[in-house]
Structure 1
């Protein structure tokens, strides 16, 4: 009887790092450089990788809620006013509303973030809007989150790939999803629970 010897070693299908999943998000190649210039080239590549991360940031500023929070009870008319045709408002106030109470659940873990750009337009979050972020809420797939990638902040919808790695989805077809690449420092700072916009 012929003895069957198992074959060991060799390349396995699907093994190894997939193209485009490294630090730079694209295919890399081997280049010979002078040994004395290794550190210089390394610094240039680090700066290039950081610049690619900075391009995704759409956050202008972050303000703590407790530093700006004041109580203000504003009259709330329960009568629903249609946006299309004018309607006479009720002549009495049903109750009063404090926007802090309405928008903020946990003041100690909530902060405001001003948005830059239009990558979240289709989610109703526009350039110069202020979003409310709550750090006490656990982020779930489908939530809009404030995320940090190598120290740069961005507001996107949280998703994940088939392999379980996180993915950040914009709400504008003009922008591409952000893959959280190997080696990138990724952190979710909180869940976006609301947005505020001034017209004047």
Structure 2
């Protein structure tokens, strides 16, 4: 299988709505998760760049869909979706974010897979499960990164992984799960293989 070089990722554009996203061609993988789950740090770790995806001291500040292109106009993209659930923002704004997320997941033809980022200590929140439901409706494969695995001892982290796998048994044909730590560089190669599955051999 072809291996992609994620270090070539470069910022492409930001869009507030599906209608303003780049042309729906090529292939892309989207990253979603709670605002404090370490999504931006995971993207930076996978691309081996310090600030490709902006990490904020105020979780939930990013309300745009951010696109990163791999290589020079290869037609392959990584997408950073707005964080959800944590930010102290008006309820109407949260509902608008959720609407944009749903529209993107349901209407984006070039989307090949979803990386769902969860804090290993607080996995499968209500909205995580809503996202999994949307993905299931679209037969969209999902790869879950249980981030901040370094915050738990090895045995506790492996136990958390098994518990999440057990709870997702009904979706095991679409969903895969792994432990991940941006700080300790744990799980980067494993996640890269999953991204390659979706992007490397996609018809562009």
Which one has the bigger helix percentage? 2
- TM-score, structure 2 normalization: 0.22
**Higher strand share goes to which structure?**
1
Q: Which has the higher contact order (CA 8 A, sep 6+)?
A: 2
Bigger Rg over Cα: 1
